[in-house]
A and B are shown apart, each in its own frame.
Chain A
Amino acid sequence: MSLLIRDGAVLSDDWLLLADGEAPPKTGKLIVSWDRWNAERTDLDLGALEVGLLLPNTLDVTAALGDLLGRPLLALSFPSFSDGRAYSQATLLRRRHHYAGELRATGQAVVRDQLQQMRTCGFDTFLLRNDQNPELCAKSFHDLTVAYQPNLLNISGLRPGKH
């Protein structure tokens, strides 16, 4: 069972991740894939449902902003431990385009050894890989207490900052 954490605390996940092909409920909070959203948005976007999107890490988020910025939740994908494309997606969404909803990290890299970098890039919730210990993950946000790029730049001694 994967746990969801925010600010180091375990949250109950009230979003339902809908598999492609699975029928949507009438009300509630749903996460659907980007492809399904594009195919069925008129059926899904009816007001009674809150719809979040699961984005592939190959998506050019800047080109899709119109669909993304108003969503209450965007889930970005880390399909393997070492595929870091979603770091750039998160940075663009949060830092450049000021996306204000929940930005959720999902997939194989959502482990204690990468959480701190993810948070710096703008993720605020983390669906931990199911082998992860949430207490140790919470601690990992404090592995490094200083950085040269908290919000993308600090040059030591010139404009120092903190995580």
Chain B
Amino acid sequence: MYRYDQYDQTLVDERVSQFRDQTERFLAGQLPDEEFRALRLRNGLYVQRFAPMLRISIPYGLLASRQLRMLAHIARTYDKDYGHFTTRQNIQYNWPELARVPDILADLASVQMHAIQTSGNCIRNITSDHLAGVAADEMLDPRPYCELTRQWATFHPEFNWLPRKFKIAFSAANGDRAAIRVHDIGVQIVCNAAGELGYTIYAGGGLGRTPIIGPMVREFLPEADLLSYFEAVLRVYNRLGRRDNIYKARIKILVKETGLARFRDLVEAEWEQIKDGELRLQAGDLDAMRSRFDRFEYDDAASLDTSFDRKLAQDTAFAAWAKRNLAVHRQPGYQIVFVSLKASGVAPGDMTAMQMDAVAELADRHSFGEIRVTHDQNLVLADVRQSEVYTLWQSLRDLGLATPNIGLLTDLICCPGLDFCSLANAGSISVAQDIFDLFDNLDDQHDIGPIKVKMSGCMNGCGHHSVGHIGILGVDKKGEEWYQVTLGGSAENDASLGDRTGPSFARDDIAPAIKKIIDVYLSLRNSEDESFLACYRRVGMAPFKARLYAVETA
């Protein structure tokens, strides 16, 4: 965990007071609706279909156990006993009372948390790899860079009233688990041929109405220049981004309309002016930032354990879970454990207060008191001794958090949809349940293999449907809920946008359509090792289309 000092704490505390004053003025009729809207959004507060929705920031998805306990407390005290983890590693509550939101923020501040810039046209939560610091394929830990960026972006005086929201993501591993190419700025931390650390910068990616895979704007940016380069990009965007049309206001449209080469020139020209100024990182800055994070003492003797392998051999249910829900830790003798928030009968990403408290306890017992949130809406306990994994699995199973489906079809991403969101055109949670019911049989799912199904209830794309291997988009047709399907999207290293299959499907037909797509894949793959995505890329849309839109003959 990053530990606040008095400086960080003062800022968060003062923000609570400021927001309390804004809320009181609004309730007293002294602040116009439209202005309070812009101000409350900067603190993550929406007014939704039934009640306000409060989004709380979880910087780069990292939570301490005491913070997760506080999230449980908030769910119990101010909401309906649960919270919803989002695709940007944050958590949302759907039922807080407007007048009590300042109290929620004060509770959060007591555990070094806040809702600053979780919505509104400003720089949003900095996201990163949920396996940062423990992944075997990682070059270095990206989180100190994320925290530097978080601080630079927090209440940045110049960039708090941008044309539109602005999202930044970091990856420092070979495999992109942070979907950096669909962010306004995506940062890949790299090492150049001379052995120097730096960044490859992508800009102008994004989902929503005009999904775009972000192009590379700079192949190598030296390590010291991170913040000055961000500042240059943001200044160009703040000055030149469109403000006449909300759907054309993201930086991706500026990059597209300006042209990549010209956009790059504008950024470079601005950066040239500031790169040697006060934003340039100095020797020791990053070490100082690294020192603000907890370091864990791993036990080299952990790898001597033999019980883990024995349990795998003895207990097939444990082995099935371990096959899907564990990942390789870079420290021998330790395992990365995924806590699945995708169970039948539960909206993807939802978690009850009781489960939060219990997972906080398990984190204290087994994983240095730390929890991560993934952008696939699951949790991770990242540092578990392999000798303790079996016990942990039993506890998670009792909590309903051990569905062995990580990376499989029912591990789908889904927004809150029409059930909660005032933007949505169609429901998504009930469709997720239909898909769950159709594919609940785990043997079938294992047979299908790794696949990412992503669903959004409207084209704003909170469920990242455009980059799902199978994407589902809810649309409104004359007051009815219909669903468009795309195939072949990806948010990973081979990022791509999915292709539309054709006309949309009615509510009752969407889950069966997914079943048909899977059937076509199973019949066409050239071996069990060919994933859905690889198969689709090889065979193309035609066979899927033929099956989906075949005229039924009697």
Contacts and interface: CB of A to CB of B under 8 A. Distances in A.
Contacts of B17: 143
A48 B278 CA distance: 41
A116 B14 CA distance: 13
B155 A84 contact: no
A117 B42 CA distance: 14
A79 to B, nearest CB: 10
A84 B18 contact: no
Interface string A58-95: 00100000000000000000000111110111010000
Contacts of A151: 278
Contact of B11 (A89, A146, A158): A146
A87 B238 contact: yes
A121 B278 contact: no
Nearest to A151: B278
A109 B34 CA distance: 12
A96 B274 CA distance: 9
Contacts of A87: 157-161, 238
B476 interface: no
B288 interface: yes
B298 interface: no
A121 B152 contact: no
A84 B10 contact: no
Contact of B154 (A143, A148, A157): A148
- Which of the listed residues B39, B151, B288, B289 has the most CB atoms from chain A within 10 Å of its own CB? B151
A148 B227 CA distance: 12
Range, interface on chain B:
35 or more
Q: Is the interface of B mostly helix, strand, loop or mixed?
A: helix
A153 interface: yes
A12 B35 CA distance: 28
A148 B152 contact: yes
B160 A84 contact: yes
A157 B239 contact: no
A117 to B, nearest CB: 4
Q: Is the interface of A mostly helix, strand, loop or mixed?
A: loop
30 contacts: A81-B34, A81-B35, A84-B158, A84-B162, A85-B239, A87-B158, A87-B159, A87-B161, A88-B235, A91-B235, A109-B161, A111-B35, A117-B155, A117-B157, A121-B158, A143-B17, A144-B15, A146-B10, A147-B11, A148-B151, A148-B152, A149-B152, A149-B157, A152-B277, A152-B278, A157-B5, A157-B7, A158-B285, A158-B288, A158-B289
Interface of B: 5, 7-8, 10-11, 14-15, 17-18, 22, 34-35, 38-39, 121, 148, 151-152, 154-162, 227, 231, 235, 238-239, 243, 273-274, 277-279, 285, 288-289, 292
Shortest 10 CB-CB contacts between residues of A and residues of B: A84-B161, A120-B157, A117-B157, A148-B151, A87-B158, A156-B7, A153-B278, A143-B18, A88-B238, A144-B14
